[in-house]
Amino acid sequence: MVKNIGFVSTRFAGLDGVSLEASKWGDVLESGGYNCFWFAGELDKDPDKSLLVYEAHFKHPHNLWIHRQVFGKTGRTTSVTDAIETLKNILKVRLQDFIDLFQIDLLIVENALAIPLNISLGLALSELISETQIPTIAHHHDFYWERNRLRTNAVREYLHKFFPPKLSHIHHVVINSMARDALVRRRRIAATIIPNVLDFDNPQTIHHSGYNNFLASFRLKPSHKTILQPTRIVERKGIEHAIDLVKNLENSPYKLLISHQAGDEGWEYAEWIKNYALERDVDLRLPKKPISSPWHHSKQHVNGHSLWNVYAHADFVTFPSLYEGFGNAFLEAIYFKKPLLVNRYATFVSDIEPKGFDLVTMDAILTAKTVQAVRDILESPERTTEMVNHNYEIAKQHFSYGVLRNQLDAIMERTVGRMDAAQKAAAYGRSQETDDLKIRPQAHQFAYLKN
């Protein structure tokens, strides 16, 4: 019987989509009577229910060195392979420590078996899951073949075997239909679609106690009108379109806020965005300090106010992303009953738009017609109220916690039932899959650091 569930990833902290969605899964599972524990290289979870392992982080120096050696290149040296294996062995031991410490019955791996930001963590997980046959749900948010910068690499055999691994006792979950279809086509792996969700059965209460902290973080006055870009500052978010919108509203009183800080994928785009706004005389406001996750644990450092404060005080939301696995910001704007502009990225077109939301949309180009549609909404409270209430009801039907709860219940029943038989068989000898997963013997030291 499954009681204790272990979440594993490179990071469970901040406002990235993987961290936010894992927290929602944790909420739903704990409300169902399970105990959830957390393993990652960065954590803002309860320390009493977490194991922090710095080597798991994609920004750990050893991993960054490996990443530089294998991506954007087509060949690697023995020292690089040894480094991957050495880090893998460290992580494999720590993962077993995590399982033993919290008596984990089932793992939920969040994206660490989908995108190779930490190759060694993917290898360690694959070997451990195969050897122990621990029930596992692999929750994939995006795959390496969806990222242009990862397509040229010197680790193709690793990527093909481990991202994700084709093991009979892993249940694969994806967040959109295109990912499901690609996984079948590329790897012959079947997956369940579980979209991103929010607790639409329980509307969020706006806590005005964080209002002053919100104003201070963005250097705002109560009288200011705001348009919110609720994303990280990375190129695929299309933030220049939000700047163009504010510019084309003409003599707009609106300040453009970007909720998340830059850094995950470098600083070059962030500097370009600042200059782009300056050249167009758009009042761009960035947070002076990190905004806390709404699921931030009280025992961890609190930054003063959460992402929910930022949404609560926004007048309009822009979401002009070029690509999204799903789109947390889209659901968050609907949850807080905010009107929004959406670029029709592929997942939106295939999985979200058919549900019948009432939105302002664009197709890669911000037209005069689109700008006028936004202006009409900003000037019509009645139209806004009708729009946001309609959208909330649709999201409640398709993207609520209840949808997630029903799907997780079904997956847990199938996964654990299948594993009972597999674990009995494993008692008679080690799984053959384990031998298939091993590529090189263990290396004993980080000799590559001397190079």
**Residues 72-81 pLDDT 10s:** 999 999 999 9
Residue 298 pLDDT: 56
Share of the chain above pLDDT 90, in %: 71
Q: What is the mean pLDDT of the chain?
A: 88
> Quick one: what percent of the chain has pLDDT higher than 70?
88
**Res. 41: pLDDT tops 90:** yes
Q: Pick the residue with more confidence: 25 or 442?
A: 25
Q: What token pair was written down for 84?
A: 């991957």
Q: Look at residue 426 in the predicted model and tell me its pLDDT.
A: 44
Q: Greater confidence, 438 or 118?
A: 118
Cα–Cα nearest to 114, from 414, 327, 295, 325: 325
Most distant CA atoms of the chain, gap in Å: 75
Backbone CA torsion sign across 352, 162, 12, 154? negative
- As a dihedral over the C-alpha atoms of residue 21, residue 295, residue 229, residue 206, rounded to 10 degrees, the angle is 130
pLDDT at 401 over 50: yes
pLDDT computed for residue 209 by the predictor = 63
Q: Domains along the chain? A: 4-197+401-450 (3.40.50.2000), 208-398 (3.40.50.2000)
pLDDT tops 50 at residue 441: no
Query: Band of the pLDDT at 292, cuts 50, 70, 90?
Result: confident
**Average pLDDT rounded to a whole number, residues 128-133:** 96
Cβ partners under 8 Å of residue 213, min gap 6: 304, 305, 309
Is residue 19 pLDDT above 90, yes or no? Answer: yes
pLDDT given at position 303: 52
pLDDT of residue 259: 87
Give tens-digit pLDDT for 252-279. Answer: 789 999 988 766 566 888 899 999 999 9
Please tell me the distance from the alpha carbon of residue 210 to that of residue 297, in angstroms, as a whole number.
Answer: 17
CB 116 within 8 A of CB 122: yes
The Cα–Cα gap between 156 and 174 comes to 22
Tens-place pLDDT, residues 235-244: 889 999 999 9
The answer, yes or no, to whether residue 139 has pLDDT greater than 70, is yes
Of the chain, the end-to-end C-alpha distance in Å amounts to 49
* In 328-400, alpha helices (H): 328-335, 346-347, 368-378, 381-398
Burial class (CB in 10 A: 0-12, 13-18, 19+), 364: exposed
Is residue 99 within 8 A of residue 6, CB to CB? The reply is yes
Q: Residue 449: its pLDDT value, please?
A: 44
Which region among 173-177, 179-183, 217-221, 427-431 has the lowest average model confidence (pLDDT)? 427-431
Alpha helix (H) ranges present in 118-191? 119-132, 148-151, 156-162, 177-187
Q: At what angle do helices 61-70 and 119-132 cross, to 10 degrees?
A: 100
